[in-house]
Amino acid sequence: MQADARAKRDAFLGKVAAPPVVMGILNLTPDSFSDGGQLPTADAAVARAREMVAAGCDVVDVGGESTRPGAVAVSAADELARVEPVLAQLTRECAAPVSIDTYKAAVAARAAELGAVMVNDVWGLQKDPAMADAVAAAQTALVIMHNRAVKDAAIDIVADMERFFDRSLALAAKAGIPEARIILDPGIGFGKTSRQNLAAFAHIAKLKERGFPIMVGVSRKAFLGSDGPPRGSLMGTVAANLAAAANGATIFRVHDVAEHAMALKLFHTLRSAGGV
């Protein structure tokens, strides 16, 4: 990892210890559930990233493959074709650190070469057998998210989450990824029924007892109960993220940066004053 990227990584990890941290979503996909196809060029994507940073974004999360239910999987080559031009420009021109949202080792490794300082893996090192070693070699920070291939209403989702994180953390340890660079994500909206999403949400405080920072990504998701289009769920998203903050979450992955930066800053100001 280059010295400038290492400095950005360490500054970001330092900020995680003093929340809130707002992660802005930069989707470069044609089929994401909320904002697919809105950023057709690298210039448009970089301009959007700049807007998010100006609005209070602490880290930009770049994704080249939709992870919504039913999305068509893409090859590593196709994913790289989407993200490489943006990453190359973004890491040069954007002051904020950049994260790569991928579960593929080849994409993670190339993103790190281009300056990404964190890998956000929605399969928690368990989809691509080479991912743990790739993250260790790149020296990036890592988000380990809980996921399931299919929903199963009969299972105890909290127990499933704990087993999943045990496996992922064992893979990280075996590869030599320092615990100080690891963040956990309960995976709200991934492989869970509505009831299980609520159980996973309620488990955030307990999950934090593992000693890792907690990230949540609830932005515009169906479990929030909005009857309208995804953009109509802003109030629900803000409410859910404030509840997550109260339970101990520190990083918030969102589409609507300005609103969350303002709401979360006020929440933490009130909490530090003893008002929450």
> Which residue carries 């990890």 as its tokens?
13
**The two three-digit tokens of residue 169, written as one number:** 């953390």
Residue numbers in the chain where pLDDT is lower than 50: 31-37, 227, 230, 232
Is 221 tagged catalytic?
yes
Find all residues with CB under 8 Å of 79, minimum gap 6, and list them: 64, 65, 102, 104, 107
Q: Catalytic: which of 9, 174, 221, 271? A: 221
Continuous H helices in 56-190 = 76-93, 105-113, 131-138, 157-175
Of the candidates 195, 205, 191, 95, the one whose C-alpha atom is nearest the C-alpha of residue 145 is: 191
Comparing CA positions, the residue from 204, 99, 88, 199 lying closest to residue 143 is 99
Give the Å distances, CA to CA, from 128 to 75, 171, 207. 13, 11, 24
Distance from C-alpha of 94 to C-alpha of 258, rounded to nearest angstrom? 17
254 and 25 Cβ atoms separated by less than 8 Å: yes
- Rounded to whole angstroms, the Cα distance separating 119 from 141 reads 6
Per CATH, the homologous superfamily of domain 3-14+21-272 is Dihydropteroate synthase-like (3.20.20.20)
Q: Which two tokens stand for residue 126?
A: 């368990």
d(CA 186, CA 215) in angstroms, rounded, equals 8
Decide if 253 is catalytic. Answer: yes
Q: Which tokens hold the place of 261?
A: 């930066």
Looking only at the bridges linking them, the beta strands covering 141-145 and 182-185 are parallel
Question: Could you identify the residue written with the tokens 């339970």?
Answer: 247
Q: How far apart are CA 180 and CA 81, in angstroms?
A: 31
pLDDT in tens, 67-107: 766 667 889 999 999 999 999 999 988 889 999 999 999 99
Strand bridging mode 215-216 / 182-185: unpaired
Q: What is the pLDDT of residue 42?
A: 86
Given this model, what pLDDT does residue 38 score? 60
Residue 266: the pLDDT is 94
Nearest to 62 by CA among 21, 34, 22, 102: 102
Largest CA-CA distance found in the chain, in angstroms, rounded: 51
Identified catalytic residue from 8, 208, 253, 271: 253
Q: What DSSP state is assigned to residue 185? A: E
What's the distance, CA 31 to chain centroid?
A: 18
The pLDDT, as a whole number, for residue 31 is 46
| Residue 257: C-alpha distances to residues 10, 12, 48, 117 (Å) | 22, 17, 11, 20
In three-state secondary structure terms, 52 is: helix
Omega before 213 cis (within 30°)? Answer: no
> What pLDDT shows up at residue 18?
87
- For tokens 């800053």, the residue is 265
